[in-house]
Structure 1
């Protein structure tokens, strides 16, 4: 599967997740999104192999921080989403799991925006290849 196809499907799934959908549809799209994220990571495995190599410029350091933030916030969103399925009263400390899920999803969206901003040239090249 082409990287750009996975990226477009991920973008579509993310937009759907922030719409007011019935809970079952939200859960199905969320599960599909997990698989798309895994595919995206797999298709970009060379990035992960390159992390310990080479010189770190300010831009490369910032990109790495953004990507780590995105991975952590998505992980919290996924885990809290799994735990909140049909268990709306579950709490971690004083926080309802559903609140953690909503908050981490917004944080994920912020990191996603920063990730897209930092990879915009690469993404633009991929989109141009489609024409």
Structure 2
């Protein structure tokens, strides 16, 4: 199995684990790990970013781009708010309050919605990678 698909699978597992009732410290550690996996995923898909300004945009490509931007923004807000609200692993950074917690929880739901849409739009490519 190549590195790219391994990262994708690990991201999926980490995201599922984040929605389980885990102790706060475990949730935060998995969240930090997820941040690194997202960075690797973006690195492995840099060709996509280089192609954004190239070619023509039909409806499918436009929808894909909107979904990907939505996913990226919602994940960034989820990650940043999670870091700000950290209760154990990054206690010294804690500047969050109830509002930050609400933002973190809300955007994690938006992230899951956009992730589902992202998986639907990339399912053929993903299945091809898994078969390799």
CA RMSD, Structure 1 to Structure 2 (Å): 1.3
Moved over 2 A (4+): 86-89
Could you tell me which runs of 5 or more consecutive residues in structure 1 were left unpaired when the two chains were aligned: none
1:48-63 correspondence to structure 2 within 5 Å: 48-63=49-64
With structure 1 as the length reference, what TM-score do the two structures score? Answer: 0.92
CA contact (8 A) 2:18 2:30 kept: yes
Q: Give the number of equivalent residue pairs.
A: 125
The residue number in structure 2 matching 1:8 is: 9
TM-score by structure 2 length? 0.91
Give 1:42-121 correspondences, 5 Å limit: 42-86=43-87, 87=94, 90=97, 96-121=99-124
CA offset at residue 88 of structure 1?
Answer: 8.5
Which protein, 1 or 2, shows the higher relative CO under an 8 Å CA cutoff with sep ≥ 6?
Answer: 2
